[in-house]
């Protein structure tokens, strides 16, 4: 099966859920108009990755009124799953006949975890149904100030109209057991979401494609210093240059032999596309299949555990 996949490299309207959702709907339509059957957005695109954790001063100060105000705005503009925003995203996927991967700040309203935010990867089928809701296993470093730990539920590939699709969030790509579990679930296309793709993030994405013998759509976002929360003071250099890029994108589409098919693109908003042939997966697994003939469960343990 041949199909076009798309990485949407863009900036949301930071900390504004309604405006960001409206922009997402426009971008989904644009990607579909380019022929895309799979559309991927960056890490926590709704309502934006909290780059202020690393790009602003004194965010770790105890009981800081400014930081608490920013966190409150983030919570108020985060996504309830299921909720009106997931209904709108599902409707957009259905209207344009695309499989949609959207990563969000998830807000829990009731039950266990009430009051906690999660970094959550959502996957919608081309029929608009939500087929995956998976929370990031372990927030990285400063992210632990605002996100809870995921439980691993849904860490597997799912059948869609665009093939079997799985995904990891950012530094989960350096968690070998997470990678192997997805490899064993039989991915055709892997979604790799990042705030941006620095050099090592690109290395990790290409390595994942080669190791898993799958296509990878790696997606990063765009953000300028002027879009950081006004309540907080930017680190030196950014305050004097509001047009400086905080997040540079770097989105890329990679083949199952690790070859870059499109990108990486930096410092601009773009819908990056590539046509792929899922038949190529069979050819590449001749030499390496870490879930098949290159697996050694007799040495490393049962794949059922």
Q: Are 167 and 101 in contact (CB under 8 A)?
A: yes
CA distance 161 to 131: 12
Which stretches within 197-236 are classed as H helix?
A: 199-212
Among the options 25, 30, 43, 304, which is catalytic? 43
Strand partners, 7: 40, 272
Report angle CA 228, 232, 234 to the nearest 5 degrees.
65
43 carries an active-site annotation: yes
Phi, psi of 234 (to 5 degrees): -65, 155
CA distance 220 to 30: 18
Residue showing tokens 């029929």: 127
Q: Between β-strands 2-9 and 36-40, what pairing exists: parallel, antiparallel or unpaired?
A: parallel
Active-site residue list: 43
């Amino acid at each position: 099966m041949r199909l076009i996949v798309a990485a949407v490299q863009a900036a949301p309207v930071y900390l504004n859920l309604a405006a960001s959702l409206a922009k997402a709907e426009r971008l989904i339509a644009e990607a579909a108009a380019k022929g895309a059957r799979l559309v991927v957005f960056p890490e926590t695109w709704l309502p934006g990755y909290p780059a202020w954790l690393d790009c602003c001063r004194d965010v770790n100060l105890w009981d800081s009124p400014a930081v608490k105000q920013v966190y409150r705005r983030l919570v108020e503009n985060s996504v309830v799953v299921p909720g009106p925003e997931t209904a709108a995203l599902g409707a957009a996927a259905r209207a344009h006949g695309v499989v949609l991967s959207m990563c969000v700040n998830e807000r829990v309203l009731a039950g266990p975890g009430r009051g906690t935010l999660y970094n959550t990867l959502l996957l919608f089928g081309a029929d608009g149904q939500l087929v995956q809701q998976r929370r990031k296993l372990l927030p990285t470093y400063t992210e632990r100030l605002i996100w809870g730990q995921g439980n691993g539920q849904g860490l597997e590939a799912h059948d869609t109209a665009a093939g079997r699709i799985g995904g990891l969030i950012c530094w989960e790509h350096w968690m070998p057991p997470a990678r192997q579990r997805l490899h064993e679930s039989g991915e055709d296309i892997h979604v790799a979401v990042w705030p941006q793709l620095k050099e090592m993030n690109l290395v990790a994405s290409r390595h994942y494609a080669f190791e898993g013998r799958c296509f990878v759509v790696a997606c990063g976002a765009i953000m300028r210093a002027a879009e950081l929360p006004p309540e907080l003071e930017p680190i030196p250099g950014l305050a004097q240059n509001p047009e400086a890029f905080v997040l540079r994108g770097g989105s890329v589409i990679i083949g199952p032999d690790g070859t870059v098919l499109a990108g990486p693109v930096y410092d601009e908003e773009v819908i990056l596309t590539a046509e792929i042939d899922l038949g190529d997966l069979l050819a590449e697994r001749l030499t390496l299949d870490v879930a098949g003939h290159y697996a050694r469960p007799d040495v490393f343990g049962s794949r059922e555990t």
